[in-house]
Amino acid sequence: MKKTGLLNSEISAIISQMGHTESMAIGDCGLPIPKETKRIDLALIKDIPTFIGTLKAVLTELQIEEVELAKETMEVSPDLYEEIKKEIGNVKITLITHEELKCKLKECKAVIRTGEQTPYANIILKSGVVF
């Protein structure tokens, strides 16, 4: 059994396989995930697990250099946007439309589906390097 870090084997496997600039996403329970993209479904009931809790867990193991967020997140869910900024620190944020974000999910290695029900609680994480 793993002693520390992420216990979810699917998420750990994806992170361990990611190379520089490859991406994965975390989304709310309503985010449409393309059939060709791996779905890691963590959703249990409303808001469990939360988007922010899942993001925090992923960031313990994934080095990121950029995130992509829908402009709508900042406009419709400003408190969530501020929480995201707090969690990612000085990482570059690129704002795109929600429609663009949904299209980019096809390029992600995986999408983690949470139980979150806050509007536009979706993010694409671009892998960085640790050296």
As a whole number of angstroms, the distance between CA 73 and CA 130 comes to 29
90 is in an annotated binding site: no
CA distance 15 to 18: 5
Q: Is 8 marked within a binding site? A: no
Active site residue 126: no
Contact 44, 115 (CB under 8 A): yes
Marked catalytic residue, from 20, 56, 92, 106: 20
Instruction: Label residue 69 exposed, middle or buried (CB < 10 Å: 0-12, 13-18, 19+).
Output: buried
Strand partners, 93: 67
Show which residues are catalytic.
20
Annotated binding site for substrate: 28, 98, 120-122
Annotated binding site: 28, 98, 120-122
